[in-house]
Structure 1
Amino acid sequence: MNSEHTYFDVRINPLHSNPDLSVLFSGEGKPLPQHKMGPAVHDYYLIHTVLSGNGIFEIGGRTYTCSTGDTFIIYPGELFSYIADADTPWHYIWVAFTGRSASTTLSHIGATPEQAVISNSNTRKLRHYYRHIRASFQQTEFPELEELESEGWLKLLLRELGRTNTHHITTKQIAETDIQRQIGQAIRYLELQYTQAVSIEHLARSLGYHRTYLCKMFKQSTGSSPMQYLFNIRMERAKQLLQTAMTIDQVASSVGFNDALYFSKQFHKWSGSAPSVYRKELRNV
């Protein structure tokens, strides 16, 4: 047991290989009254959630009084300190992580170095995720799988914090964000389903919009209608495939056209050259 805690447990990731988002370690502790860390800096992100008790957290010249349900976030390179209350020292649980997507992910849940505390979270749910992160590292036979599992639980933890941290978003922002999100979803749908027979009517219904409204908002966002956007996706992909040894029929089928002749006419109209001519031109370059 750590001499500065009445309870202390930490589990270490034996691998740490994912450059995008990787858990380093996770733990739980009950520090003694007025136990202090810092002033110091870390080279990783470190999140603490207070399960009970009280303490004070400082980062970037800002001071936060934290209690049950508060989560405070230490950012790499930021000077911080924290201290347990003299009368009711906090009991907290933590996870440290790194990765090139970490900062963006935290900003998506409304956390920044300037606003480094998320309040009023559901400690029961968060404790469940923290415990699963630690449990991921109880076996060492397959460290690659342990790391994969811990990353999944970390993302669920961050999602739960994001659900809690919505006080900074206005009703207007929610409406605007919802429209943008739905347009983004429509774009992703077209980019992934362009090989299929796409129904804009069906797409609009699945997003909860009337077809006319979706088309209007889509054009405002992208500059083209959904069908025009889909057509351009198919033609651009066809250009790529025409650089391979695939037949015209195979290219047509691969970009959502059952009729190779119709595809050729549409490609000619779009590019100014028939597919076979376009392919010859590429070879002559």
Structure 2
Amino acid sequence: MNFEHYYFAAGFNSVPDELDLAVLFSGEGKPYPGHKMGPAVHDYYLIHTVLAGEGMFQCGNISQKCRTGDTFVIFPGALFSYQADDTLPWHYVWIALQGNSVAALLSDAGITKERPLLHAENVDELTSLYERTRQSFQQSPYPRLESLEASGWARLLLHKFGLSNLDVLPARPQEMPEMIDRQIDQAIRWISLQFHQQISIDQIAATLGYHRAHLSKAFKQRTGLSPKQYLLKMRMDKAKGLLEGTLSIDQVASSVGFNDALYFSKQFRKYFGIPPSEYRAALRSNN
């Protein structure tokens, strides 16, 4: 037991080397009445959620009493202090984060240096995520897998914070992308990642909830190409890059979504004005 707490439990990450988001440690505690931390600064992000009781959080010009369901976030370099109530000391859970993406992920959830507090009604859900994060560090023979698991739970925790903080997130129509724009983004991403598959434009349109003609019109307005033309361009550009390597023409064709190497060669020649074999020969001759 920590000598300043009725109850104290923590888990620590021995290899927090994820660059975008890593959990340093996570814990739970029931401090004694009047227990105080700070004034101090940290070089990591420290998040507390109050499960019961009360306490005071101070950071910069912010001073607020926190109760059940309240969460306060301490940012790196920010001078802070927090103290348990003298008569009804809080019971809280915490998680410490570091990484290049943490500030952006917190901002996506509506949490910033200027707005480091939020209230959530789903305390049981948050408690479970904190506990799962802490229990990730069971000192198994695979600490990097533990770290990976913990960062996954941490992302879910930030997701829950965002759902509890919707009132401060941008919601006005002019600040939100049009639905068709979002669907076009998804279609572009789909083609960019799945060009090697037998993609059906009809299937993309149906999945995104649009008639093929409507999707194709919006797609062309955005990219200057129809979905079919965009797919062909993606395949041909990828094929050019692969022809610089050691794959056979058949293997290049298969890698960019053509089951028939002869048909691939015909399409390549039609697109670039030269068959893939001659393109490769020219590359080697130049080199």
TM-score, shorter chain, exceeding 0.5: yes
1:111 is matched with 111
1:227 is matched with 228
Q: How far is 1:173 from its partner? A: 6.1
1:246 is matched with 247
Three-state SS of the structure 1 residue aligned to 2:177 is: helix
2:45 is matched with 45
Amino acid at match of 2:103: S
Amino acid at match of 1:139: Q
CA contact (8 A) 1:14 1:140 kept: no
Structure-2 change in CA distance of 1:232 and 1:60 (3 Å): farther
Q: How far is 1:203 from its partner? A: 0.8
1:279 is matched with 280
CA contact (8 A) 1:30 1:89 kept: yes
Q: Unpaired segments of 5 or more residues in structure 1?
A: none
Q: How far is 1:179 from its partner? A: 4.5
Structure-2 change in CA distance of 1:82 and 1:226 (3 Å): farther
1:76 is matched with 76
CA contact (8 A) 1:121 1:161 kept: no
Q: Unpaired segments of 5 or more residues in structure 2?
A: none
Q: How far is 1:220 from its partner? A: 4.2
Structure-2 change in CA distance of 1:171 and 1:216 (3 Å): farther
2:157 is matched with 157
CA contact (8 A) 2:29 2:91 kept: yes
Distance across 2 between alignment mates of 1:177 and 1:13: 42
Amino acid at match of 2:113: P
Identity %: 54
Q: How far is 1:162 from its partner? A: 2.2
In the TM superposition, what whole-angstrom CA distance separates every residue of 1:101-139 from its partner, at most 9, and x where no partner exists?
222222222222222222224110011111111112233
CA contact (8 A) 2:170 2:176 kept: no
Q: TM-score, normalised by structure 2?
A: 0.88
In the TM superposition, what whole-angstrom CA distance separates every residue of 1:9-59 from its partner, at most 9, and x where no partner exists?
222122323233221111111223333222221111111111122333233
CA contact (8 A) 2:120 2:161 kept: no
RMSD: 2.4
**Most deviating of 146-155 and 126-135:** 146-155
Instruction: Summarize the alignment of residues 1-285 of structure 1 with structure 2, pairs less than 5 Å apart.
Output: 1-167=1-167, 168-170=169-171, 172=173, 176=177, 178-285=179-286
Amino acid at match of 2:256: V
Corresponding pairs, count: 285
Structure-2 change in CA distance of 1:195 and 1:125 (3 Å): same
